[in-house]
Amino acid sequence: MTTRPLSGIRVLDFSTLLPGPMCTLLLAEAGAEVVKIERPGRGDEMRAYPPRFGSAGVNFALLNRGKRSLALDLKSADDVARAIDLVRTADVLVEQFRPDVMTRLGLGYDAMAAINPRLVYCSITGYGQSGPLADVAAHDLNYQAEAGMLGLGAGSDGMPGIPPALIADIAGGSYPAVMNILLALRERDRTGRGCHLDVSMADNLFPFMYWGLGNGWSQGAWPKAGAELVTGGSPRYQVYRTADGRYLAVAPLEQKFWENFLGVLDARHLVDDATDPVETRDAIARIIATETAAEWEKRFDGVDACVCVVRTLEEAVANPHFRDRGLFDHALEDGAGHALPATPMPIAQRFRVPAGAAGYPVLGEANADLAGPPDTD
């Protein structure tokens, strides 16, 4: 069996809620030892979030599978000293406080790098370590709004919809953090030194809108909601309602797929969609509204047209394709014999913890062997 690539790497996780814990979950699934530093008594706020799974909220359980928990009061000088002792043996530190909070606690990058020059220190924040917005309180919705992403998803009435995914937290925070931690570890292999990583969730949303930036910078044509190729301005990239109130996701962007799509609709006369895209869209909507989603799914079966039914999440996890891919083979245990599928991870199976069951940490379970008296040497 292939050795997990991060075996032997120790990660200290000072983060809570989603971005940092998702980052360290990815590292843990690739073999790292993750020690989660939590407040005594309460721990990570997600421990209390409903619904519950065992002794904790299921959100906490899913995000902290396979980690260890160390309860330390970072307002206590003795507990900070214990945390510093752990830093001496750590490879990676992940924190998610506002800028300068860790410094005020005595755990800032400069002080920790002086103790352990090989430490890779990753700070995940909404707006980064510097700039006018650095200290502003915000959440995922705010980061998407400030970065111009939320506005591109407005409906026909101009009102932006609430995104169904926490894009800034995960795609702007967790994933770039892991990417840069791995790059920093690779650099450390060559130089022997760690570094401080400044991961801004808002900054990292802009790559998703590269096409809009290109249009704006090169042509002065800044994208508008409902007017562009991927924001609703083309009949080739739309969601259409079916006769039974369900929806088809239609994305035949290439000409060959477009022609195949129109062939199934018996609407080849609509092939020139550029002349009047709105009329073409409306004509297609009228056709699709005449049959049920199941009927359309049957008609498009085997046709290269980039068309599928919009699934519910419940339908998606029951899809034989995803089950065949092994997405849900890993399990999460609650310590009382109950289990549910663990969070699917974007890690190649050869690098991930072998499929099977693992639990989440009880608050402070690692205190007995990790939080000894502070080193006074």
Q: Strands, DSSP E only, in 220-374?
A: 238-241, 247-250, 307-309, 331-333, 339-341, 357-359
DSSP 355: S
Residue 340 DSSP SS3: strand
Residues constituting the chain: 377
* Cα–Cα distance measured from residue 226 to residue 119, given in angstroms and rounded to the nearest whole number: 46
* Cα–Cα distance measured from residue 93 to residue 194, given in angstroms and rounded to the nearest whole number: 11
- Catalytic member of 73, 139, 198, 329: 139
- Which residues lie closer than 8 Å to 223 by C-beta, 6 or more apart? 152, 209, 211, 212, 215, 216, 231
* Cα–Cα distance measured from residue 194 to residue 198, given in angstroms and rounded to the nearest whole number: 13
Point out which residues pair with 307 in neighbouring strands: 250
Region label for 148, one of left (φ > 0), alpha (ψ between -120 and 50) or beta (otherwise): left
Active site residue 330: no
Active site residue 321: no
- Catalytic member of 13, 44, 79, 169: 169
- Residue with tokens 């508008």, as numbered in its chain: 224
Q: Which long-range contacts (CB under 8 A, 24 or more apart) does 114-118 make?
A: 115/84, 115/87, 115/88, 116/87, 116/88, 116/90, 116/194, 117/192, 117/193, 117/194, 118/91, 118/188, 118/192, 118/193, 118/194
At 104, list the tokens: 């005020």
* Cα–Cα distance measured from residue 200 to residue 324, given in angstroms and rounded to the nearest whole number: 36
Letter string b/e over residues 7-26, b meaning 16 or more CB atoms within 10 A of that residue's CB: eebbbbbbbbbbbbbbbbbb
At 322, list the tokens: 């995803």
- The residues annotated with a catalytic role in the active site are 139, 169
